[in-house]
A and B are shown apart, each in its own frame.
Chain A
Amino acid sequence: MTERSLALERTESRFGWRLILPAIIIIGGLIIYPIGYNIFLSFFDVTLQGDRTYVGLTNYRSVLLDPAFWRSALTTLIYVVGTTIGTTLVGLGVALVMNRKFPLRGLVRGLILLPYIAPVISVVFAWQFIFDPVNGIFMHWTVEVLQIFKQRFNLIGNPQTAILVAILFNIWKNFPFTYLMILSKLQAINESYYEAADLDGASAWQKFRYVTLPELYFVLGAIVILRMIWNFNKFEEIFLLTDNVKVLSVYTYFKAFTGAMEQGTGASLALIQFLLLLGFILFYVKRVLKW
């Protein structure tokens, strides 16, 4: 009996491995192995054509001594913090609104998913047009109608202000994701908690603060961590909107594929970026979430 069940277990396990094997080979060969190869390349001077010479730690030294790298790291930090807080808060607000019943709610829920599903490339130009100094509606409203600014200027063209637009764009593009995750949790909150709060005479704010928020604690924690990872690695949503916001991915891309095309330096930059992300996440998990 035990022998037969052991044999069964073995066939079962062999069957499982055989099914997962193609996926493992593909992910291992084209994601895990390249990451190892990236570490290897970061110690070489590599040309775009593939020729390489060993240079030891030179790439790392040149990256870490370059003020442009530190500026870029700071830009990334501002971008990640701004977008993560922004998407989470907007998502929370929208989820609270959509959790109520109102006419045409189905249509509204469908419409507000559009930013998340539309291709980045097809929405960046509309955003550029909105902030265009000559034709854009933003300048029309802020300068001519509301008179907040004295004259029209190029908001996306200036590195200091472009990051604001990039953050706003990320919030716009990704709030549907946070909203959906929060909404599904909101709908799962037990109705009787609110009834009990009502009996105690709690105000709307108190119900939000002492019933809703604690229930959302874990989903909010998960959202923040996911958004931090994704926003840290963001490339397209920034690069296609403006090349003035040099977060680390964009900085690495420029280093490795434009100008002198320093692939080796690019490899070391990509690795440093990954290590920074790991550190960032560990800090968040240990200090903020206290897991």
Chain B
Amino acid sequence: MVVRKKGFFRSVGFALLVIVIVLFAVFPFVQMLSTSLKYQLDWGNPSLIPRKINLESYKELLSIGQGLRDVPESVQRVLDNPKLTAEQRKTILKKYQQTGDIFPFLKYFRNSLVLSAVSAFLALIVAVLGAYSFSRVRYRGRSLIQRGILFVYMFGGILILIPLYQLAVRAGLASTQTGTFITMIVLYMVQTLPVSLYMLGNYFRTIPFSIEEAAMIDGCSRFETIWRIIVPLSLPALATVFIYAFMIAWNEYLFASVFLKSYKNLYTLPIGLKALFVSKNAIWDRIMAASMLTAIPVVVLFMLIQKNLVGGLTAGGVKE
């Protein structure tokens, strides 16, 4: 770009343009944060700054200080009695906790975390081997496999959803909780595998082959060079691919909504939030706080890998 002397109005116009772009991108997030901090009577207020800060919904979702809220004073006095054992105290408290109404955010959060982390990790292991194979080893059929992986980009989730569900039902996996959980891990691994293969393949090609040759001359087997040379050299790329696969699984709704429908204990955040919104407990401040808490881990992870990922995204496009 050739920079020339610009008039005052042109630079003001340009600044305005930048501001409009940023507002367009960020406004829904600001709205989310603002509403999550507002009391109900403040919702219709177009100003983004809450009249009074409401932290209740965050406290409730993270179950901070929820124990004693609805316990009548007379019962609290009983509870303060030092003669009570911890167990007795717990049973009394349990009666007063409104279990039906509470949104088990932390449980859903944990489910999402475990599912996404395990499936992303498994996908990463398979992808390291596969990507090494088609970026470094020469054999017939290699380019066919590479193109085949790209072709998988064309399939929408809905095309494999029905047959996979039917297969899981036939195999008896959909009828137990453990079976369903394992099925979900495998399904998420499959969904993230093509992207991981593709991204890692692109990265491995940038590592000079001479380093591996040197290791092989020193007596490393081909397989050892993967673990001793390629993996340590591509740690940033591995982290990037892991986090990207993690994000795909973390965001997934379609498969979770079908497979986990009758297993409330396994709900991930996306279906949990959707269920909360549909239920009568859907209160804007709560749903916005839950949205914030769902977005934050992903945004933080993204910040960690931003430099690598932005390169990776543009290097070949990444499946959504």
Contacts and interface: CB of A to CB of B under 8 A. Distances in A.
Q: Which of A121, A172, A180 has the most CB of B within 10 A?
A: A121
A38 B156 CA distance: 13
A31 B292 CA distance: 33
Contacts of A23: 126-127, 129-130, 193, 197
Interface residues of A, number: 91
A23 B145 CA distance: 10
B76 to A, nearest CB: 36
Interface residues of B, number: 96
A176 B314 CA distance: 11
B270 A50 contact: no
A181 B314 contact: yes
A216 interface: no
Given A137-B31, A229-B154, A22 B126 contact: yes
Interface string A16-51: 110110111011001100110110010000101110
A129 B287 CA distance: 10
A15 interface: yes
B134 to A, nearest CB: 6
Contacts of A49: 169
B72 interface: no
Contacts of A174: 320
Contacts, number: 269
A80 interface: no
A101 B14 CA distance: 11
Interface stretch (A60-68, A106-114, A154-162, A283-291): A106-114
Contact of B160 (A19, A35, A110, A176): A35
B251 A274 contact: no
B64 interface: no
B166 A263 contact: yes
Given A118-B298, A263-B162, A249 B21 contact: no
A122 B142 contact: no
B170 to A, nearest CB: 5
B258 to A, nearest CB: 6
B91 to A, nearest CB: 36
B163 A267 contact: yes
Contact of B320 (A108, A125, A126, A230): A230
Q: Which of A48, A130, A233 has the most CB of B within 10 A?
A: A233
A12 B139 contact: yes
B235 interface: no
A22 B124 CA distance: 12
Interface string B8-30: 00000011011001101111110
A158 to B, nearest CB: 19
B35 interface: yes
Interface in B279-320: 284, 287-288, 290-292, 294-295, 298-299, 302-303, 306, 310, 313-314, 317, 319-320
Contacts of A37: 163, 166-167
Contacts of B313: 177, 180-181
Contacts of A15: 133, 137, 222-223
A115 interface: yes
A118 B133 contact: no
B100 interface: no
A129 B284 contact: yes
A100 B14 contact: yes
Contacts of B170: 50
A102 interface: yes
B1 interface: yes
A151 interface: no
A98 B66 CA distance: 47
Contact of A102 (B14, B193, B223): B14
A123 to B, nearest CB: 6
25 contacts: A13-B137, A13-B138, A13-B139, A17-B133, A19-B130, A20-B145, A24-B130, A27-B194, A30-B164, A37-B166, A97-B14, A101-B1, A117-B298, A125-B291, A126-B32, A135-B284, A183-B314, A184-B314, A226-B317, A230-B320, A232-B156, A252-B158, A263-B162, A277-B156, A281-B154
Interface of B: 1-3, 14-15, 17-18, 21-22, 24-29, 31-32, 35, 43-44, 46, 126-127, 129-130, 132-134, 137-142, 145, 148-149, 152-167, 169-170, 186-187, 189-190, 193-194, 197, 222-223, 247, 250-254, 257-258, 269-270, 273-274, 277, 284, 287-288, 290-292, 294-295, 298-299, 302-303, 306, 310, 313-314, 317, 319-320
Given A118-B298, A126-B291, A281-B154, 19 more contacts: A16-B137, A16-B138, A16-B142, A26-B126, A38-B160, A49-B169, A50-B170, A101-B1, A121-B253, A122-B290, A122-B295, A125-B273, A127-B28, A141-B46, A235-B254, A252-B158, A270-B158, A273-B158, A277-B154
